[in-house]
Amino acid sequence: MRILFLGDVVGRTGRETVVAELPKLRNALALDLIIVNAENASHGFGLAPDMAENLFKAGADVITLGNHAWDRKEIVPYIADHPRLIRPLNYPPGTPGAGAVVVEIQGGRKALVAQALGQLTMEPQLDSPFFGTREVLARHRMGGTVNAVVLDIHAEATSEKMAYAHSFDGQASLIVGTHTHCPSADGQILPGGTAFQSDAGMCGDYDSVIGMLKEGSTMRFWRKMKGERLGPAEGPATICGVFAETDDTTGLAKRIEPLRLGGRLKPAMPAV
Give the per-residue pLDDT at 125. 82
Residues designated as active site: 68
Q: How far apart are CA 136 and CA 120, in angstroms?
A: 21
Q: What phi-psi label fits residue 258: left (phi over 0), alpha (psi between -120 and 50 degrees) or beta?
A: beta
For every residue of 24-70, DSSP letters joined together read: HHHHHTT-SEEEEE-TBTTTTS---HHHHHHHHHHT-SEEE--TTTT
168, 188, 1: which is closest to 89 by C-alpha?
168
Give the per-residue pLDDT at 226. 72
Q: Where are the domains of the chain?
A: 2-261
Give the per-residue pLDDT at 225. 76
Give the per-residue pLDDT at 7. 97
Give the per-residue pLDDT at 63. 98
Give the per-residue pLDDT at 266. 97
Mean per-residue pLDDT pooled into runs of 10, the chain (272 residues)? 98 98 98 98 97 98 97 97 98 96 95 97 89 97 95 98 98 98 98 98 97 91 79 97 97 98 97 90
**To which CATH superfamily is domain 2-261 assigned?**
Metallo-dependent phosphatases (3.60.21.10)
